[in-house]
């Protein structure tokens, strides 16, 4: 395993930060890649963001989206890369926007761990 450090100015579009984009260019297969927290990112073949303002294929809660990717839509887990970028900054939005299945923050994190 290789660990490296690079500096980049913070950007809410994480995947546009040069060191991150370079890393993605190296490893991401654009043929079968899913992104449950895509925002405006176009890296994935199948993109999702709970916020309908973003132009994604799906506007589902990430848990529901991943469930469909694993068990439905004919994909049955046949993808090579999962991009995972749910920033800490988006956590308050996450509580506000996501389904009401989780009654409090701890339940919400417990639900995420199941994934």
Which residues make up the interface to ligand SAM (CB under 6 A)?
13-15, 36-41, 49-51, 54, 61-62, 85-87, 90, 93-94, 98
State the minimum distance, in angstroms, from the CB of residue 49 to ligand SAM.
5
State the minimum distance, in angstroms, from the CB of residue 113 to ligand SAM.
14
Q: How far is CA 33 from the centre of its chain?
A: 11
Q: Is the CB of 54 or the CB of 75 nearer to ligand SAM? A: 54
Q: Is the CB of 32 or the CB of 86 nearer to ligand SAM? A: 86
Q: Is the CB of 33 or the CB of 49 nearer to ligand SAM? A: 49
Question: Which residue(s) pair with 33 in the sheet?
Answer: 81
State the minimum distance, in angstroms, from the CB of residue 39 to ligand SAM.
4
Q: Which residues contact 53 (CB under 8 A, 6 or more apart)?
A: none
State the minimum distance, in angstroms, from the CB of residue 90 to ligand SAM.
4
């Amino acid at each position: 395993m290789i660990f490296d450090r690079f500096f980049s100015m913070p950007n809410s579009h994480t995947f546009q930060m040069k060191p991150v984009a370079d890393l993605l260019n190296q490893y991401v297969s654009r043929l079968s890649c899913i992104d449950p927290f895509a925002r405006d990112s176009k890296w994935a073949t199948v993109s999702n963001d709970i916020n309908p303002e973003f132009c994604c294929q799906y506007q589902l809660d990430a848990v529901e989206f991943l469930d469909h990717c694993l068990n439905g839509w004919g994909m049955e887990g046949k993808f090579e890369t999962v991009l995972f970028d749910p920033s800490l900054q988006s956590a308050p939005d996450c509580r506000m926007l996501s389904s009401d299945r989780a009654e409090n923050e701890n339940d919400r994190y417990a639900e995420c761990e199941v994934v």
